[in-house]
Structure 1
Amino acid sequence: MVRTRLYRDGALVSEGFPIAEVSDHVCDPGNVVWFDLCAPSAGDLELIAEELGLHALAVEDVFQEHQRPKVDVYDTHLFITAYWLHMQDSGLDAVEINIFATRNALVTVRENEHFDIDRVTARWDAAGDLAKNGVPFLLHGLLDYVVDSHFELVESFDEQVEALEEQLFDERPMSREDSRKMFTLRKNMAGLRKVAAPMREVVNTLLRRDLDVATPEMTPYYQDLYDHVLRVAEWTENLRDLMSNLRETHMSQQGFRLNEIMKKLTGWAAVIAVPTMITGYYGQNVPYPGYGTSLGFWSSTLVILVASGLLYLAFKKRDWL
């Protein structure tokens, strides 16, 4: 499904028109055109490239998987790659968004329909007073929505890390399921960092004066976007370090619990060893005081109880039991 919009003098005058009319609208310098493609074929994109004069390398990058977030500057347009992120089945789903920005046209190419373009158009409509800024306004609204998805994720990850911190020092040791959650969280945070960190360079490039993207009226909005990108990147780095500390603390606690268990087992083995020694000694086949009488039995039992009790108290005092 192709989405199209036409702005003239900062006002939305048409939308949903055929993509074949784009070239006619772009010829008028007073018009700003946006259209969206979802998983287009190579043939579809080549036709648009001819209409707008898009560089062949930029068109080729659209079909290259696992591109790094970036901005490529060409003579007639910018090519931007970014990723919108969301959680799906406890895993991180990254949807690649490729953007062509010319003087008066913005083309968005979505990898799939997981990226809801209607939310972007809703943001444009909510800030309609800025629409007179043309392509810089449209590009900012799109990137702002992308960066907000990163921000929401890092907030969610921060809450999960706090829950793990509280659980780490509970009396109940972490289960295998908890360890799996920790591993999944580390994996998702690595995926977020891979996407969020390069966005600093992307937005910083767009702030360059020679590109005429951050116009005087739009500059504060792009600076605010850059601030959000920095916060996400720094927050992700801090959480990454914190997760490493949590993992090391978890491993140390496992070793500590194992030492505690071994200490208790050793203490009980010592307690049991004394009665075993006494009964073994009295089991020798020679006469001893009380041999063959009930007095000998009760005296040996008393010695066992007293010796075991003294050992238990001694170990308990040293926190061995």
Structure 2
Amino acid sequence: MARTRLYRDGVLEAEDFPPEKTSDYLRDEGLTVWLDFGSPTEADLALVADELGLHELAVEDALQSRQRPKLDEYDTHSYLTAYSVTLERDSLQLTKAELGVFITERAIVTVRPGDRFDIDAVVRRWDALAHLAKNGVGFLVHGLIDYVVDSQFDVIESLDEHVEQLEELIFEEGPARRGMLRRALALRRSLGVLRHVSVPMREVVSTLVRRADAPMTPYFQDIYDHVLRVTEWTDSLRDLIATFRETQLSLQSNRLNLIMKKVTGWAAVIAVPTAITGYYGQNIPFPGFGQPWGFWMSTATILLIGGGLYLLFKRRDWL
């Protein structure tokens, strides 16, 4: 079912009227119209295209999901594609919600493949900023883009918190290290998805800033600032995740070297009594053979040489 709204000179006048009446309402130059379609059929968009004179390529893009974020210009209207995002806190999986928007001089049409995009949140944002409604289509587009960018900003803030938690885990040993690698890979994957939907928004919002009427320009400029922060923050966190992995590999290498150094040192210490007991184990006469003092001499030699090697290795931090 279509959802509709009608504004007259910045005041909400009607809701949920039939989309077929759109062209009739637009004959009145004081009216601004919003139409929303969730998972529209070809017939739905064909009706809107006839009412508003939409370009066939824009209609085709609206029917085909997974478009990249963009703003296409046509003779009588523009077509905007954007994505809001949400983050599942346990799995750190990022979910995208696509939105297509036809923008004409006094009407916008939103198209939502599926039901992931929270259009109710956008409506609440419009109602909260009702004092801007007199700016017509600019006001409606601002509410949509502001919600999209804010969702991306909220997600990057949440991802930053998870990255900070990784910083605390990186020097821990045991099972936590294996879990850290899994979380780091999930974070990097989510950051990659977020980058794909946020970076193109810089060009989209920049175009909207240039096209905005003077009263709405500061508001679009504020959105553009948020877009820049999201993209820069995303790149920074991606680099930090890569640094974590390099640090983890470096720590593993250092730990392995430390273990090998200690094993080698202990092997050298153990080699002394092995060599001496092996010498005295020969079945031939030697100094002290069969005498008590021979046993004590071999024991003292083992203790002196082994203890000397232990102290030497300990001083050099080999043990």
TM over 0.5: yes
CA contact (8 A) 2:169 2:180 kept: no
Question: Corresponding residue for 1:52?
Answer: 52
Question: Corresponding residue for 2:181?
Answer: 179
Q: Distance in 1 between matches of 2:50 and 2:40?
A: 15
Question: Corresponding residue for 1:320?
Answer: 318
Q: Are 1:248 and 2:246 matched, yes or no?
A: yes
- Residue pairs, 1:1-321, within 5 angstroms: 1-88=1-88, 89-170=91-172, 175-209=177-211, 214-321=212-319
Q: Distance in 1 between matches of 2:190 and 2:224?
A: 23
Q: Relative to 1, partners in 2 of residues 1:100 and 1:150: Cα closer, same or farther, differing over 3 Å?
A: same
Report the 3-state secondary structure (helix = DSSP H, G, I; strand = E; otherwise coil) of the residue aligned with 1:94.
Answer: strand
Normalised by the size of structure 1, how large is the TM-score? 0.94
Q: Relative to 1, partners in 2 of residues 1:65 and 1:302: Cα closer, same or farther, differing over 3 Å?
A: farther
- Equivalent residues, number: 317
Residue segments in structure 2 that go unaligned for 5+ positions in a row? none
Report the 3-state secondary structure (helix = DSSP H, G, I; strand = E; otherwise coil) of the residue aligned with 1:207.
Answer: helix
Report the 3-state secondary structure (helix = DSSP H, G, I; strand = E; otherwise coil) of the residue aligned with 1:76.
Answer: coil
Report the 3-state secondary structure (helix = DSSP H, G, I; strand = E; otherwise coil) of the residue aligned with 2:318.
Answer: coil
Q: CA deviation at 1:183?
A: 0.8
Letter in 1 for 2:136: G
Report the 3-state secondary structure (helix = DSSP H, G, I; strand = E; otherwise coil) of the residue aligned with 2:214.
Answer: coil
Q: Distance in 1 between matches of 2:23 and 2:269?
A: 92
Q: Distance in 2 between matches of 1:305 and 1:27?
A: 105
The Cα offsets for residues 137-166 of structure 1, whole Å up to 9 and x where unpaired, read as 010011000000111111112222222223
Normalised by the size of structure 2, how large is the TM-score? 0.94
CA contact (8 A) 2:288 2:295 kept: yes
Report the 3-state secondary structure (helix = DSSP H, G, I; strand = E; otherwise coil) of the residue aligned with 2:79.
Answer: strand
Letter in 2 for 1:62: A
Residue segments in structure 1 that go unaligned for 5+ positions in a row? none
Q: CA deviation at 1:273?
A: 1.2
Q: Distance in 2 between matches of 1:309 and 1:42?
A: 87
CA contact (8 A) 2:169 2:177 kept: no
Q: Distance in 2 between matches of 1:112 and 1:296?
A: 91
Letter in 2 for 1:113: D
Letter in 2 for 1:76: T
Q: CA deviation at 1:266?
A: 0.8
Report the 3-state secondary structure (helix = DSSP H, G, I; strand = E; otherwise coil) of the residue aligned with 2:230.
Answer: helix
Report the 3-state secondary structure (helix = DSSP H, G, I; strand = E; otherwise coil) of the residue aligned with 2:36.
Answer: strand
Letter in 1 for 2:311: L
Larger mean Cα displacement after TM superposition, 253-262 or 155-164: 155-164
